[in-house]
A and B are shown apart, each in its own frame.
Chain A
C-alpha cells in the first residue's frame, strides 16, 4: 500500500492506522473518496492490533484487506510534526524525508498512550509500560522464562499478563491499585455486555494460579544498572518481589497533541479528557474529525464504531453515519463504567520523592518541578517536558501530582531534522522548543 511518490492531495487523510483509523479509511474509501492513511508505526494495526513480528494481527486482517482493495494509500513509519495551514500537514518519514500532504477532510485517530506514574527506581532499564512490554514482546523481545510483575491499573493489565504468560514468561503477580469493591462493580457491569464477560472468563482461565491483587501498587524498583526487584504496597504493608521485568501502566491517556495543534477543543467530560466531537465525530474545527481513544478512553468496540461514523461523515455521507449512532451509544456505556472503576487513588500521589525523576528526557526531579509556579516556569527553569518526548511521558503524571493542565502545543510535535522544518515552511518554532536533532 505504500508508495512514497504517490499523489499528495486526498479527499480524506486519516492519521493513525489502529482500529478507529482503519474503520474510517474503509468507510470513506467505500464512498469513493481518495483516502490516505498515515501511521508512525512501520505496520498498520495500531497498538491493540500490533503485528507480532511480521504477521499482521488476525482481527486487523479484514480491515486492512478492505482498505487495500478500495485503493487506500498507506504511509507507514511517518509522523505528522506540523500543520502549516488549514488543509495541509507536514510529515517526516522514518528515513528522515519530509512530506507535504493535503486534505479536504481529516480524521484524527491517534489513539492513546499509557499513563506512567513516577516512583523511586522507575527509570531503571526493564521497568516498562504494561502495554510497552507487550509491544516489545510482540516485536520479538524474548520473555520466555523471565520473571515478570504486572502492575498499575485497568483491564489492560489482565490482557498483558495473559499475553506474557502465553509467551512463556513467569508472571509472578498482577498488582491492581483499584480496590476490590470497584473491581467487583466493574465485573458486574460486564454482565450487561455479554461478549465482554466471555472475554473476562477466558482471561481468568488463562491466568489460573497468578495472584491478582487489588489495592496493591508498586512503591519502588531496585537494581544495579537494571531491574532486580520491585517493592509493592498492600494493606498498609510492603513486600519485595524479585523480577526481570516490571510491566507497569496506570491506565491510558488520549494522544491529543495533533488535535490541539489544529485548534480542536478538548472535552472535560470525555474519559481521560479527549477531543470534543459532535454526533458525526466532527471536532470544533470544521472538516476535522476525531475517532477512537483520542475522544476519550473507550476501548476497541467504541473505536471501531466511531471510526466508521467519522469515515462516512468525512466522505460526505452523513445519513450512513447516523445509522451507527445507536450502536455507539450502547458501546460508550461500557467505557464510562471503565473510567469509574479504575480511578486512581490518592496514595499514588506520594510515591515519587523529591529526588525522583519525573521528566526522564531531561532528568528533572519532582522537587524542582514542584518549586515552579506552573508548566511555563518549569519548562524555562528546569527544561521539564522539553526533551524529545515533548512531555508525552511527564505531562500526565505532572497533571496527576500537581494538577497542572498541559501547556499549549507548538510545532514541531516531535524532534525533526532542520531540513524537514525548512522544507515544510514551518514558522514560529519557539525558543522554548528543544533543539531539533541532527
Chain B
C-alpha cells in the first residue's frame, strides 16, 4: 500500500489506498446511498462480489458500473444517485 489514489466522488475529492475499489471511495466520501431503486429507495452494496448490482454507480460517464468490482484510478469521476 505504498501509493494513494485521489479521485472525485460527487465532485468531492477523496484519497484512498492504491488497490481500493470504487465502493471504498464512496464510503470514504461519507455516502451510504449508492443508487436509488426503481421505486426510489436508497440502496448500497449487498454481495461485495459483483453479483447483485446494488452498488452500481456512474464512473467517468459510464453508467451501471459495479463499484465493488472496479479499482479506483487517479482522477476518476464517480457519481452516485442523489
Contact = CB atoms under 8 A, between A and B. Distances in A.
Interface of A: 40-42, 47, 50-51, 53-55, 77, 94, 96, 113-114, 116, 123-129, 131-136, 139-142, 225-226, 255, 360-363, 387-389, 392-393, 415, 437-438
Nearest to B55: A136
Given A125-B32, A128-B48, A94 B43 contact: no
Interface in B1-30: 1, 16-21, 23-24, 27-28
A393 B50 contact: no
B68 A113 contact: no
A303 B34 CA distance: 34
Interface in B32-63: 32-34, 37-39, 41-54, 56, 62-63
B44 A135 contact: no
Contacts of A361: 38, 53
Contacts of B74: none
In the A-B complex, the 8 residue pairs with the closest CB atoms: A54-B19, A125-B44, A135-B48, A140-B20, A53-B19, A132-B48, A140-B24, A388-B53
Given A141-B27, A142-B27, A125 B34 contact: yes
B56 A141 contact: no
A149 to B, nearest CB: 16
Given A132-B48, A225-B32, A363-B38, A123 B43 contact: yes
Given A114-B47, A128-B45, 19 more contacts: A42-B70, A53-B18, A113-B49, A124-B42, A125-B32, A128-B46, A135-B47, A136-B45, A139-B19, A139-B20, A140-B20, A140-B24, A142-B27, A225-B42, A255-B51, A360-B54, A393-B46, A393-B51, A437-B63
Contacts of B70: 42, 94
Contact of A140 (B21, B50, B69): B21
Contact of A393 (B18, B37, B47, B69): B47
Contacts of B28: 140, 142
Nearest to B1: A53
A53 to B, nearest CB: 4
A240 B63 CA distance: 38
8 contacts: A42-B71, A129-B46, A136-B24, A136-B68, A140-B17, A255-B51, A437-B64, A438-B63
A94 B69 contact: yes
Nearest to B28: A142
A226 B53 contact: no
Question: At the interface, is chain B mostly helix, strand, loop or mixed?
Answer: loop
A140 B34 contact: no
Given A136-B23, A438-B63, A363 B42 contact: no
A126 B17 contact: no
A183 to B, nearest CB: 26
A362 B38 contact: yes
B79 to A, nearest CB: 16
Given A53-B1, A141-B23, A141-B24, A123 B38 contact: no
B49 A135 contact: yes
A350 to B, nearest CB: 22
Contacts of A392: 51-52
B38 A133 contact: no
Contacts of A389: 51-53
Residue of B21, B48, B53, B68 with most chain A CB atoms under a 10 A cut-off = B48
Contact of B49 (A77, A132, A140, A362): A132
B42 A226 contact: yes
B23 A126 contact: no
Given A361-B53, A392-B52, A53 B46 contact: no
Contacts of B16: 140
